Structure 1
């Protein structure tokens, strides 16, 4: 069984530098993959910055050499097939053949399509998805393509370079289970990434539901059972190894081949300084993870206080003081000089830009126990309990 980290393409992860940092940390810690959401508009997260998924993955590829990368998932009907084929092929060549392409209708449909005047008819979008997938597979060969379909045309077109992986990168199909049409579509390709209606993001599905899905997909493989097929399920692994094994073991036995851990949510209580390791599914215990995307080597660097405020703590820290405040911790990841603050009860965070602080996050309690990326050597201003203090990083990694 393989394990991946799944991150959104908005908020803190809209910054390619943050994604590169997470990717490098994931590879260093033994994870097998990093997958990024592919949203262009999502009203539920309006007001947050969104990054282009393929730009974010490019940053991840340049920071790694081993792990698989891809989107989870790409709404094919939202793209022009020739543009998407070129992006995927370029990334596959850049990564040396490490791309996985996950596809589906995407959503919310009204946001991703309707907001831009596109069709929101799911039947039409499904037709474009199927026709687009067929065309992508042909484009990725690098051979001349003639296609005259209901939604797309290609007249003697050859897109070079071809993908490194032949005949193409693995194609996974997403959808909600127990909806049957998406899983019949998945049976024609290389894997399924289902969302189970009785297991929301971050919660593992029931073993019997996984077995039912596998049985259904295998029944529609049309005799092509020798070709590898991946089943990617979601679920957070507990910190306790025995409990993690209880999560992973039944899913693996039911037929799951990948477990994707969703990052970006609030970390579990008491895990602020743990190093996030890839879970293990061997007999010696099934993982040491805490169910979130953390990093390698939570090495604490000295802090110096600038300004008279004490951030509500009533304590002072000098440049060489070992008493690092528990509410603010600076980490180093894989030798990359990127400072990260962890704060409790943080009201707002500002980053020094040209001598005047610029807001990075609005004042709200959602910052509780989050990792706040501020950049190497930057000074940051943290407002906590209506008192303000400025901290800067000191020392070398």
Structure 2
């Protein structure tokens, strides 16, 4: 099992210089990765100070050499997929192949869609996420293609350079358990970022979601499953007792 920080990009975590220093310290202390939330804020509904996570990740990439970096997670329907594809490859090259791209549909609970005149419908965002993921992965191929979807259309698109990581930059897909569609979607990619509504996930949840996803897993390589929680940092036995049931249930 590998271990990472996963911090907001707002409030005390919205200071880019402080976050870069924290990433450097995390690498020196032996952590494996550093992930950042991707929220944009929406005025008085969420009045904290925010920092752009992609600019923050670029600064972290320049200050570190080993740890993995990435957004957990970017709401792809809030973004143009070709813009995300370009940013991701640039960050992949800047970090020398250390980027993990976390994606999801996002949420309108804090009006991060509707505040800006965009629809907050989850079903719509699921359609946009599926199309966006196909576009991103095809743009990363470096080959010319056209695409005619319900939400996006591309004509003779071709992006260079291709990512350093091959066959592609790892993509981890978010889902709210026990909703099934996001977990079938994630099975076609490289990892899973699960949450549950209004509660913490249990080891039994991880057993159940892994069992559900198994028939849909299509890739031969390792499939990562993220588990979130807190360790004391001081009581090694207590931390081991907290983490081990999740590792045994399939969290990586």
Normalising by structure 2, we get a TM-score of 0.95
Per the TM alignment, residue 182 of structure 1 is displaced from its structure 2 partner at its CA by 1.0
Q: Is the 8 A contact 1:77 1:125 kept in 2?
A: yes
Per the TM alignment, residue 141 of structure 1 is displaced from its structure 2 partner at its CA by 1.7
Other-structure match for 1:87: 87
Distance 1:149 1:8, change over 3 A: same
Q: Is the 8 A contact 2:107 2:120 kept in 1?
A: no
1:229 corresponds to 2:223: yes
Other-structure match for 1:208: 204
Matched residue pairs, number?
A: 251
Name the SS for the 1:111 alignment partner: coil
**Rounded Cα–Cα distance in structure 2 between residues aligned with 1:154 and 1:109:** 31
**Rounded Cα–Cα distance in structure 2 between residues aligned with 1:160 and 1:6:** 30
Other-structure match for 2:214: 218
Please give the residue correspondences for 1:182-261 in structure 2 after superposition, counting only pairs within 5 Å: 182-197=182-197, 199-200=199-200, 205-221=201-217, 224=218, 226-238=220-232, 239-257=234-252
5+ residue gaps in structure 2? Answer: none
RMSD: 1.6
5+ residue gaps in structure 1? Answer: 258-397
Per the TM alignment, residue 227 of structure 1 is displaced from its structure 2 partner at its CA by 2.5
Moved more, 37-46 or 22-31: 37-46
Q: Is the 8 A contact 1:10 1:50 kept in 2?
A: yes
Please give the residue correspondences for 1:167-182 in structure 2 after superposition, counting only pairs within 5 Å: 167-182=167-182
Per the TM alignment, residue 190 of structure 1 is displaced from its structure 2 partner at its CA by 0.8
**Rounded Cα–Cα distance in structure 1 between residues aligned with 2:198 and 2:75:** 23
Please give the residue correspondences for 1:352-371 in structure 2 after superposition, counting only pairs within 5 Å: none
1:159 corresponds to 2:159: yes
Q: Is the 8 A contact 1:82 1:136 kept in 2?
A: yes
- For the pair shown, the structure with the greater C-alpha radius of gyration is 1
Q: Is the 8 A contact 1:15 1:56 kept in 2?
A: no
**Rounded Cα–Cα distance in structure 2 between residues aligned with 1:42 and 1:19:** 22
Name the SS for the 1:135 alignment partner: helix
Name the SS for the 1:96 alignment partner: coil
Q: Is the 8 A contact 1:43 1:111 kept in 2?
A: no
Please give the residue correspondences for 1:135-146 in structure 2 after superposition, counting only pairs within 5 Å: 135-146=135-146
Per the TM alignment, residue 45 of structure 1 is displaced from its structure 2 partner at its CA by 6.6
Other-structure match for 2:14: 14
**Rounded Cα–Cα distance in structure 1 between residues aligned with 2:64 and 2:57:** 11
Per the TM alignment, residue 145 of structure 1 is displaced from its structure 2 partner at its CA by 2.3
**Rounded Cα–Cα distance in structure 2 between residues aligned with 1:120 and 1:212:** 29
Normalising by structure 1, we get a TM-score of 0.61
User: If each structure's strand is expressed as a fraction of its own residues, which one has the higher value?
Assistant: 1
**Rounded Cα–Cα distance in structure 2 between residues aligned with 1:77 and 1:128:** 6
Other-structure match for 1:26: 26
**Rounded Cα–Cα distance in structure 2 between residues aligned with 1:103 and 1:44:** 26
